[in-house]
Structure 1
Amino acid sequence: MKLKLSDATPWPLLLGAKFLQVHPVGTIFAILLALPGQVALIVSFLLPLKIVMLMGSDGVPRFIPEIVADVDKKALIGALASLSVAAFLFHQLTNKAIDKIARSGVIRIQKRHQKLHLFEGQEELARNAYTRYIDSIASINFIILGVAVLFIIYQEVAFTLLLYVSTVTIGAMLLYKRKGLDAKKLAKMLPPKLPLLSGTGFLVIFSAVLLDYIFFSVPQSFIILLISIILSRQLLVRSSSLTKNLFFFRLQKDRLKAFLFHKSVFTPEQNTGDSEIFDFLNPETPLHKQLQHLLQSVFNSKDEGTQAKLAWRDTGLSGITILSARFQEPKAEYLIKIFNINKKNEANLEATLLNDASGQLPCPEFLADSMIGQHPIHVFDITGYSFTKTDLDSNAKDVLTQALSVVPIPPKLRSRYLRSHRMLWDRLSESEIHALKAVSNNTDDIETCLTHINQLKEKLKKLPLCLTNPQLGNDRLYVTNPAGNIEFLHWGRWQIEPYGASFSKELIDNYKAAPTSYPLSANQPQSSGLDQSPSPILAYLVYQLLLRIRQRFYGKAINTLRELNKRLSET
């Protein structure tokens, strides 16, 4: 088997070679321009310090060259200030020039390969990579030059810097091997810690200078000491920037390779959280063993050999896996819900509701809220339950909606929700209604609604509050309890809305036909019945209006607005 040169070449070098191939003159010019730009930045930081020292001295400090020692002090300060500003402007101009070269390079690549659009932000990604490549080469040149200067003017600082960087590098490599991290995981984990490592390195170098001053011999020239400290700080910053760039190239390798190289195609990677989910089903993995241990504790089994039989359940939930677990003796069945890392918020919301409203919801008994690795785990008791067939329960959503409307909301839970979320009357704003003017030929209905919007909000506030679940339409999450009643399995996006807001059209039509047949909400004030409150139809229409505006169904939204005005005029 022949090994291609591209297979043996490190990825950053291969990437740089592609940039040089596509835009050689611009790339070389940008590399030559970047190093002076970084030096100019240091000069712009150093000169203000010299100006302050010059302003605070009675005579001419020793760091001022003899050739300008006779120049008027104020004129010298003005000249140094102008030079500092000029150095900073030069640094900014070099950055602009490099960015412009990067843009032209990306345009050349697109014209050369003639590929279809691969992913969102591909041009920005390529330009970012081009700029980072130039920055990396300039950083390498700056680090080599800076360390050489430090060895000439202050060897102790140079040795301390190299010792610290070597220690951090070796530590990262040991962490990489000990925890079994792959390159991409390390590239995600380490960059956020680089500013801390850089700052710690500066403190180490500064401490070394202090120790040298106390116990050994510090350089006689104060300006050399100052330059050494500033230069070491910039070297740490450039090293941190270089490391971030290398990690960026590694993380974006697949996208950049597909965009930049002619025979490469882009294949989106599977989410890491999704791939780990299957380890819960593999008896050889630690995740599976930890899950079995959790189930044994729920089952109250002291026999470590007792293993639950796991089965996959199709649910259609993104980032959330549902398994069923069966024990034979005594017979018991549990439902396990495994949340991906990016679904922790839904896990927390579900656990909050199920813990606070335990036994009240149309839901199996909630037994455990745990963590395995970075995955939240919820366990339910479904012994005696059956997974409902959808063709037998076409009205299951309405049944569950009505069941939720009479569930009492614990005062503490209600208070926490009101402090955390905007209610329906808060979401009904004049700006939302004004948006319809641009697409409507007749603005009379819009103006009528705007005139009565405050009155409408007050009516919504008088309606009792009810729990709702916008995911009730997922019929794969229905189960039938031993009593024959339908229950629901997922509560990660529950809401509290005014009574009627979450009703379906069928429920609203039924309510119009027989309003007295609907049960009182458990959250209705005892001083008044539901028939004395504003109509739930108002909440339904406002909810539908905002939903259609958000979905940009403006024609349907205007029709809903007309019906809302009519209903409001009748109350």
Structure 2
Amino acid sequence: MSEIKSLNFNAGRWMYSVANKITRIIPGLTLTIIILTLAAQISLLAASFLPLKAIILIGSPNIPSYFPEYLKTFERKDLFLLLCSTAALFYVLYLTSEALIKKLTKLGSERLILNSRKLILFDGQNEVASKAYLRFTRSLAAIVFLGLTIAALGYIYLELTIATVAFWLCWGIITKLRKRIKKNSNIQGNETNHESINPIGSIGFFAAFSYLAYDLLSDTPPKLLPAIIGILLTRQIMQRATLLVQDLVSLKEQHLQISALFFKDHKLPSEARGKPEKFWSLFTSDNAKLWAHDLIHEVTGKPYVKHDIKWHQTGVHDVFAIEVESETDTGQKDAYLIKVFNTNRTTLAINEATLLTEPNLANIPAAPLIQATLLDGFHCHIFSPQSLDKIPAIETGIHQATSTKILMRYTPPQSLIQKYSRSRPLLWDRLSDNVLHSFGTALGNNEYTHDIKKFMGLKQLVRDTLRSIPLYISNSQIGKDQILISSNGVLNISYWGNWSLEPIGACLQIKNLSASLPSLLADLQQHRDDIQQIDETKLMLSALCYKLDQLLSRQHYLSAAELLPEISALASSIDNDNLAVVK
């Protein structure tokens, strides 16, 4: 964490070091990109300005008096066509420059990575390097462009220049004061993001335009042409300054990856994702006692006088939890489980909260969720479990199978089915033509060719059969740390971040499944009315197709092909039964 803080504290020095490194390794390429970037920006400015002059010209009976003298030698129509064609040429120059910048940026980032002489550090590192190099060169070009544009604006319209520069100085001072206030108040606010920066340019342009409007209504208004050029230059200054700030913020956010990519002596720390320093700070003994007490009091309203806090292993990376035993002044003790999700686990937190806050859902083996809230920007779930005792590791497989069978007893609410089916593919959707085509292509001509052809002929029947099987809430990706067991043997699952809806029978272990299907089906028929017409064949087909989907998703095509004969035989049996019913 000290490394991260020091890099953040010396962000200006770090950016200077990277810029110096880039210009030293590939000076010619970097200079070319900067020149092309300036050419693109100036071309775009000209391509925006000239059409406006052309419209003013065509709307006037004569060439306006404020047009330069050398333009007044042209005929009005010829001058209009000249302005239009020049604007088109500048736009072509802008597009050409952007295309060259894209190619040279890719080349430059590849050279930088090769110069560092490192192994591949992370997925997508070439894209990260390319974007970082583009942002650095674009930032350098933006600084030059802003300097030239402000100088030009100062020459044309000094008062508007002062107003524009004053706006950015005020914004910088306000930003510094806000950071200092947050630091002094120990407030951990959200980091600067692009959404908070985006409106700055528009606000600045509106402020500059307001000043221009005031000046035009004054006793000594500026001339029309300088006012028009001034407002166009101001627009460019606001846009480029905003983009420059965004690029610098993006570079600062990725400083760990960029340093590891471009500097030989820098290594990528394992905590390069999420917000590790802020996340870990929540779980220091002093901080945990404070926020745990506040959360529990807010949720329960009980006057607890003591909280004993212990670490709880969740078994999920970047999902931390604590066990809290709270005691009132009368000696009453209650147990709570509080889970906090890091920012890169937000999806898991939302998935879990969506399921456990469903109003029409009851009796599933879940630790009761009291409240889902935010803790300093992190998703936080507060549970009141019957027990915090975990199962022995050796019994994990047994309890996983038991929890799956228990979940199959409960019918998901229709509202939950609608939400899920609109958001995620169900089993029959996942066995799509594209997936099966890739499956067939991978195996080609071998001993499984006949099995694949037969299965492909029955694929629609398989999908229709899966659609006819009622759904249940599956939570198959659970381990020993997420299964809690009470003294009387009641199971409670404490993690639901990866739940899904599957046809009954899916997620069952297919080994020796046939022998246990009769008792399982009898048990389910006692608990669910919608399973009365389902037989053992369909449950077996569901289990096999789920296994097939899992193997295909991992591209274990040979193992998947071994399931095809049994799936095809079950599908053919179901087809024959359907024909017999029709007759």
Taking structure 1 as the reference length, the TM-score comes to 0.88
Shift of 1:359: 4.6
The answer on 1:435 being equivalent to 2:425 is no
Question: Is the 8 Å Cα contact of residues 521 and 530 (structure 1) preserved in structure 2?
Answer: no
Which residue among 313, 331, 347 is the counterpart of 1:345?
347
CA distance in 1, matches of 2:506, 2:71: 81
Where 2:563 maps in the other structure, the secondary structure is: helix
Write the mapping of 1:421-460 to structure 2, written as runs, cut at 5 A.
Answer: 421-438=424-441, 439-441=443-445, 442-460=448-466
Aligned to 1:334: 336
CA distance in 2, matches of 1:394, 1:67: 88
Shift of 1:244: 2.2
Aligned AA (1:483): N
CA distance in 1, matches of 2:400, 2:116: 52
Judged with a 3 Å threshold, the aligned counterparts in structure 2 of structure 1 residues 535 and 144 are, in CA distance, closer, same or farther, namely closer
Where 2:217 maps in the other structure, the secondary structure is: helix
Where 1:493 maps in the other structure, the secondary structure is: coil
CA distance in 2, matches of 1:365, 1:31: 59
Aligned AA (1:232): T
The answer on 1:244 being equivalent to 2:246 is yes
Judged with a 3 Å threshold, the aligned counterparts in structure 2 of structure 1 residues 310 and 427 are, in CA distance, closer, same or farther, namely same
CA distance in 1, matches of 2:51, 2:384: 70
Judged with a 3 Å threshold, the aligned counterparts in structure 2 of structure 1 residues 159 and 293 are, in CA distance, closer, same or farther, namely same
Aligned to 2:488: 483
Where 1:159 maps in the other structure, the secondary structure is: helix
The answer on 1:140 being equivalent to 2:146 is no
The answer on 1:501 being equivalent to 2:501 is no
Shift of 1:275: 4.0
Where 1:386 maps in the other structure, the secondary structure is: coil
Question: Is the 8 Å Cα contact of residues 520 and 529 (structure 1) preserved in structure 2?
Answer: no
Aligned AA (1:92): L
Aligned to 1:4: none
Where 1:308 maps in the other structure, the secondary structure is: strand
Which residue among 204, 208, 214 is the counterpart of 1:205?
208
Question: Is the 8 Å Cα contact of residues 153 and 161 (structure 2) preserved in structure 1?
Answer: yes
Aligned to 1:399: 402
Aligned to 2:296: 295
Shift of 1:551: 0.9
Shift of 1:546: 1.6
Question: Is the 8 Å Cα contact of residues 423 and 497 (structure 1) preserved in structure 2?
Answer: yes
Aligned to 1:3: none
Aligned to 2:4: none
Where 1:370 maps in the other structure, the secondary structure is: strand
Shift of 1:568: 1.2
Shift of 1:529: 4.5
Over the matched positions of the two proteins, sequence identity in percent amounts to 24
The answer on 1:561 being equivalent to 2:567 is no
Shift of 1:54: 1.8
Where 1:346 maps in the other structure, the secondary structure is: helix
Where 1:368 maps in the other structure, the secondary structure is: strand
Question: Is the 8 Å Cα contact of residues 464 and 524 (structure 1) preserved in structure 2?
Answer: no
Question: Is the 8 Å Cα contact of residues 548 and 556 (structure 1) preserved in structure 2?
Answer: yes
Aligned AA (1:228): G
CA distance in 1, matches of 2:119, 2:564: 43
Which residue among 448, 464, 467 is the counterpart of 2:470?
464
Judged with a 3 Å threshold, the aligned counterparts in structure 2 of structure 1 residues 229 and 318 are, in CA distance, closer, same or farther, namely same
Judged with a 3 Å threshold, the aligned counterparts in structure 2 of structure 1 residues 19 and 153 are, in CA distance, closer, same or farther, namely same
Aligned AA (2:79): L
CA distance in 2, matches of 1:343, 1:242: 30
Aligned to 1:65: 68
CA distance in 2, matches of 1:520, 1:251: 55
CA distance in 2, matches of 1:89, 1:210: 34
Which residue among 10, 15, 18 is the counterpart of 1:15?
18
Aligned to 1:160: 163
Shift of 1:357: 5.4
The answer on 1:41 being equivalent to 2:44 is yes
Judged with a 3 Å threshold, the aligned counterparts in structure 2 of structure 1 residues 143 and 79 are, in CA distance, closer, same or farther, namely same
Aligned AA (2:148): L
Shift of 1:106: 4.1
Question: Is the 8 Å Cα contact of residues 360 and 408 (structure 1) preserved in structure 2?
Answer: no
Shift of 1:95: 3.7
Shift of 1:418: 3.4
Judged with a 3 Å threshold, the aligned counterparts in structure 2 of structure 1 residues 406 and 211 are, in CA distance, closer, same or farther, namely same
Where 1:519 maps in the other structure, the secondary structure is: helix
Shift of 1:277: 4.2
Which residue among 210, 215, 218 is the counterpart of 1:215?
218
Shift of 1:396: 0.9
Judged with a 3 Å threshold, the aligned counterparts in structure 2 of structure 1 residues 104 and 398 are, in CA distance, closer, same or farther, namely closer
The answer on 1:365 being equivalent to 2:365 is no
Aligned to 2:553: 550
Aligned AA (1:229): I
Shift of 1:211: 1.4
CA distance in 1, matches of 2:373, 2:33: 54
Aligned to 2:381: 378
Question: Is the 8 Å Cα contact of residues 215 and 222 (structure 2) preserved in structure 1?
Answer: no
The answer on 1:310 being equivalent to 2:313 is no
The answer on 1:411 being equivalent to 2:411 is no
Q: Could you give the per-residue CA deviations for residues 531-557 of structure 1, whole angstroms, max 9, x where no partner exists? A: 4x8621111122122221111011122
Question: Is the 8 Å Cα contact of residues 463 and 534 (structure 1) preserved in structure 2?
Answer: no
Aligned AA (1:263): D
Aligned AA (1:10): R
Shift of 1:480: 1.4
CA distance in 2, matches of 1:125, 1:461: 43
Aligned to 2:516: 511
The answer on 1:89 being equivalent to 2:88 is no
Judged with a 3 Å threshold, the aligned counterparts in structure 2 of structure 1 residues 298 and 133 are, in CA distance, closer, same or farther, namely closer
Aligned AA (1:436): F
CA distance in 2, matches of 1:223, 1:344: 53
Write the mapping of 1:251-266 to structure 2, written as runs, cut at 5 A.
Answer: 251-266=253-268
Q: Could you give the per-residue CA deviations for residues 440-480 of structure 1, whole angstroms, max 9, x where no partner exists? A: 425433333333333323322222222211223x1222221
Aligned to 2:581: none
Shift of 1:147: 1.9
Judged with a 3 Å threshold, the aligned counterparts in structure 2 of structure 1 residues 381 and 139 are, in CA distance, closer, same or farther, namely closer
Judged with a 3 Å threshold, the aligned counterparts in structure 2 of structure 1 residues 326 and 358 are, in CA distance, closer, same or farther, namely farther
Unaligned stretches of 5+ residues in structure 1: 1-6
CA distance in 1, matches of 2:401, 2:114: 56
Shift of 1:164: 1.0
CA distance in 2, matches of 1:82, 1:535: 71
CA distance in 1, matches of 2:450, 2:495: 43
Shift of 1:512: 4.8
Q: Could you give the per-residue CA deviations for residues 262-299 of structure 1, whole angstroms, max 9, x where no partner exists? A: 433333435444444444443433x6412212224556
CA distance in 2, matches of 1:265, 1:63: 61
Judged with a 3 Å threshold, the aligned counterparts in structure 2 of structure 1 residues 313 and 270 are, in CA distance, closer, same or farther, namely farther
Q: CA RMSD in A?
A: 3.0
Where 1:189 maps in the other structure, the secondary structure is: coil
CA distance in 2, matches of 1:216, 1:322: 68
CA distance in 2, matches of 1:370, 1:111: 46
CA distance in 2, matches of 1:267, 1:345: 24
Shift of 1:235: 0.8
CA distance in 2, matches of 1:529, 1:257: 62
Shift of 1:564: 0.7
Where 2:222 maps in the other structure, the secondary structure is: coil
Write the mapping of 1:89-108 to structure 2, written as runs, cut at 5 A.
Answer: 89-108=92-111
Judged with a 3 Å threshold, the aligned counterparts in structure 2 of structure 1 residues 320 and 167 are, in CA distance, closer, same or farther, namely same
Judged with a 3 Å threshold, the aligned counterparts in structure 2 of structure 1 residues 539 and 342 are, in CA distance, closer, same or farther, namely same
Question: Is the 8 Å Cα contact of residues 365 and 381 (structure 1) preserved in structure 2?
Answer: yes
CA distance in 1, matches of 2:521, 2:240: 74
Unaligned stretches of 5+ residues in structure 2: 1-9, 575-583
Shift of 1:229: 0.5
CA distance in 1, matches of 2:12, 2:197: 27
CA distance in 2, matches of 1:179, 1:484: 49
